[in-house]
Amino acid sequence: MNFHVLTLFPEMIEQGINTSITGRAIEKGLISLNAINIRDYAGNKHGQVDDYPYGGGAGMVMQPGPVYRSYESVTEKIGYKPRVIYLTPQGKVFNQSMAEEFSEEEDLVFLCGHYEGIDERVLEMIVTDNVSIGDYVLTGGELPSMVMIDAISRLVPGVLNNDVSAEFESFNDNLLEYPQYTRPASFMEREVPPILLSGNHPKVEEWRRQQSILRTMERRPDLMEKAELTKQDIKFIKS
Ligand code: ADE
């Protein structure tokens, strides 16, 4: 899976993604990162990429030419037109099922805006998906693109050490994850739930499932409508 990021701050993306699990995935060749500086496509010796908004108003708008040329550098390299994700608070709110869908692509382009935005014409020409990471406003698209790259990368086979851990976690069946414990068994007079020390795996699995349900009802009741519950789960909820 190849991530191409069109940005005015390529070092920010590189620093963030060349670290920890995503950094190791790059070393292993499971994902690649191509952070492209839009300013390299300014087309003038001052490196200017923004200008005043037509019609007036505050701030500056990113010009279409540099953005389009930086996009072309990607299509020329890969030989086809990939999905282009524009990070914007006006987009569809990112979630796990979108991460799963995007993880099927061979190449993804992330377009990071700054200032008051990007000239609408180039957005119409190249963007396939407008995506927001939540209902708040950030200073640019770099952090949102890193959030998405992280969430998508961990779904690429081999990126996580254990194949099962991406499967049994929060948002599978739309339930939150159960609590985890490790040594010591007693910490400042707080004990690990005894069932986890019992060695009875079916009972452990049942307890974990119940904890997931209780946690979801308490912390994210909105998810319960979408939760995929078994007959046994429903029996537990009613008990
Ligand atoms: N750019 C600024 N705020 C954003 C957000 N919440 N999501 C995605 N891109 C953004």
The answer to whether the annotation marks 36 as part of a ligand binding site is: no
Q: pLDDT at position 216, please?
A: 98
Mean pLDDT of 105-124: 96
Q: Which residues fall within 8 angstroms of residue 229, CB to CB, at 6 or more apart? A: 173, 213, 237
CA 67 – CA 187 distance, rounded (Å): 55
Structure tokens given for 164: 């099962």
The model carries a pTM of 0.95
ipTM: 0.98
pLDDT digits (tens, 9 = 90+) for 174-220: 899 999 999 999 999 999 999 999 999 999 999 999 999 999 999 99
Q: pLDDT at position 166, please?
A: 58
Mean pLDDT of 66-80: 98
CA 111 – CA 173 distance, rounded (Å): 31
The answer to whether the annotation marks 134 as part of a ligand binding site is: yes
Task: Inform me whether the pLDDT recorded for 57 exceeds 90.
Answer: yes
* Residue 53 CA, ligand 1 centroid: distance in Å: 20
| All domains of the chain in start order, with CATH | 2-153 (3.40.1280.10), 186-238 (1.10.1270.20)
Task: Inform me whether the pLDDT recorded for 170 exceeds 90.
Answer: no
Mean pLDDT of 151-176: 80
Q: Whose CA is nearest to atom 7 of ligand 1?
A: 132
* Residue 23 CA, ligand 1 centroid: distance in Å: 24
Q: Return the amino acid letter for 19.
A: T
**Closest ligand 1 atom, CA of 133?**
7
> DSSP assignment of 95-138, as one string?
-HHHHHHHTT-SEEEEE---TT-B-HHHHHHH-SEEEESSSS--
Question: CB of 33 within 8 A of CB of 17?
Answer: yes
**Whether residue 66 has its Cβ less than 6 Å from ligand 1:** no
